[in-house]
Amino acid sequence: MARLGWLGALGLGGLLWAQIGAAARARATEIALQEATTSTFDWNSFLWRVLWIETIAIIFLSIRLVQLVVRYTGYDPFGDWDRDKVNMRLWMVVGLGGIALALWGSFKYAPNYLPESASAHGQAIDTLKDFILYFTYPAFILVHLLLFYMIWRYYHGRSQGAVYELTHHGLERAALIAITIPVVIIAAWGIWVWSAPVHGQVARADQKTVELEAVAEQFQWRVRYAGPDGKLGRYHYKLIGGENVLGLDFTDPKAQDDILPPLKEIHLPVGAQIIIHVRSKDVLHSLYLPHFRTHIYAVPGQRTQAKFVPLYTTKEMRRKLKDPEFDYELACNQLCGGAHYNMRMKVVVETWEEYQQWLSQFKPAYTPPSSVALHKNTQNL
């Protein structure tokens, strides 16, 4: 009994600690975000936290009170309860309620799932995902129904013990095969499908290729397009500075025609093989193009790469989804700091001609500086 009381106190302490921690973190984020605006203390959320803590305290103290009453008076108000029965019934509520909630949630939130994949390899990923889901969802329901049925059944047949069968080779073999085959299929299929955005997808002979680079920094993406030569030029981190935000090495002719469009959005031509080179200037970020099922880390000091083929223009996708507001997006999928949410860009997929026209309005990043400065910079490499 006393041990239970201590356990209660320990639990309460832990919850209190977690609450204080959460409040401090929330406050720190708030301060980071509200640098410019006036920050006010959020009394509303503070009082809610206090209320939660008090509610939990009341529950624990009530339990403790009952324990003390039992100890000192010998009178147990719940003494005539059949505890096994209460437990069994509670488990039925948890089990059936949990399954019902899971089913309800799956359907309720279905409209929030990502729409049909807008890239070729993404459709293969979706097929694999659907296969796994159709396979595991019924298994999830069945296993849980069985689990809670056992609780119900063995409550009613309390006196029967479990029967141990130490070796049943047939059963073990069957279980091994039944588990191994689907796991091997899913793993092999997965390796093939998931490697496509990194290793696979060689462009067809008649297919156009667009190479661009996305450079992550706290808290924005800088995107560089290969110029008319179709090749991205060299860069070196030591050249980053001043106007040269990406550290391009302008002694490389391939870098001289590279284009850095302004920050707002990136444009991609439909049907072309897109190759995105990714790097980071500071911390770990992640290039995430959910509608194209493309996702790759931006690792400081390393260069990563993703490939995909956009299948539908933004206009076509809007028509498909019957949503005139729809836009593809590029996001950072790695919690990289306070303004992480800022690392979001609109992605416009359009025809090759529209894309060319959009790109042609920008001048190359290279503006011939005083050649002395350039020389000095490259010498430091």
Q: Which residues are near Cu ion by CB under 5 A?
A: 285, 332, 336, 343
CB of 325 to Cu ion, least distance (A): 25
Residue with tokens 């080179």: 277
CB 347 within 8 A of CB 327: yes
CB of 20 to Cu ion, least distance (A): 28
| Residue 209, number of CB atoms within 10 A of its CB | 13
Q: Residue 234 or residue 281: which is nearer to Cu ion going by CB? A: 281
Q: Residue 49 or residue 340: which is nearer to Cu ion going by CB? A: 340
Q: Residue 272 or residue 332: which is nearer to Cu ion going by CB? A: 332
Q: Residue 255 or residue 278: which is nearer to Cu ion going by CB? A: 278
CB of 341 to Cu ion, least distance (A): 9
- Residues 38 and 61: their CA atoms lie apart, in Å, by 40
23 Cβ partners below 8 Å, 6+ apart? 46, 49
Q: Residue 255 or residue 345: which is nearer to Cu ion going by CB? A: 345
Distance in angstroms between the alpha carbons of the first and the last residue of the chain:
72
- Residues 315 and 325: their CA atoms lie apart, in Å, by 10
CB of 379 to Cu ion, least distance (A): 33
CB 308 within 8 A of CB 289: yes
Nearest to 266 by CA among 341, 361, 359, 346: 346
- Residues 257 and 117: their CA atoms lie apart, in Å, by 33
Which residues are paired to 364 by β-bridges? 259
CB of 213 to Cu ion, least distance (A): 16
Which residues are paired to 265 by β-bridges? 346
Q: Residue 259 or residue 336: which is nearer to Cu ion going by CB? A: 336
CB of 351 to Cu ion, least distance (A): 31
Region of residue 123 (left: phi > 0; alpha: psi -120 to 50; beta: else): alpha
CB of 112 to Cu ion, least distance (A): 23
- Residues 292 and 273: their CA atoms lie apart, in Å, by 12
- Residues 133 and 141: their CA atoms lie apart, in Å, by 12
CB of 343 to Cu ion, least distance (A): 4
Q: Residue 336 or residue 365: which is nearer to Cu ion going by CB? A: 336
Q: Residue 255 or residue 287: which is nearer to Cu ion going by CB? A: 287
E strand segments, 242-366: 265-269, 273-280, 285-289, 294-298, 304-308, 328-332, 344-350
How much is the CA Rg of the chain, to the nearest whole Å?
A: 30
